[in-house]
Amino acid sequence: FVSHRHTGAYGVYEAFYKEHYLSNLSSSAISWVGSTQYSLMFGLGMVGGLLFDKGKFQPIFFFSVALYIFCNFMLSLARPQHFYQIFLSQGLGMGVAMGLLYAPTFMIVGAHFHHQEK
């Protein structure tokens, strides 16, 4: 749920980028970061689901969490007026991490409880 709320609050990031970090770019250009992140979050759900079905939840989970933390740290090191740093860390990196983690976390609940037929 953390990844979904982080993406849902992208408007705060966009306003900050427009006012302070990427003031030389248009809002349309800045929105590429959020749209890429959001698209990857839902687009990679199929890949994450497929890996979950193959029993690879733990490696995907640890990889995604490590990538998310690393990209969040890299985002904090991004310099003003360097769009590519923000796009790579938040748009691509965090988008991939959220995409691989988001769908399997919902499926793990269903897989945990066994279905009993009457």
pLDDT of residue 117 exceeding 80: no
pLDDT in tens, 62-116: 999 999 999 999 999 999 999 999 999 999 999 999 998 888 777 777 777 766 6
pLDDT of residue 51: 87
Biggest CA-to-CA distance, the chain: 64
Residue matched to tokens 């969490």: 65
Q: What pTM did the predictor assign? A: 0.83
pLDDT of residue 2: 57
Q: What does the chain come to in residues? A: 118
11-34 pLDDT tens trace: 888 899 999 899 999 999 999 999
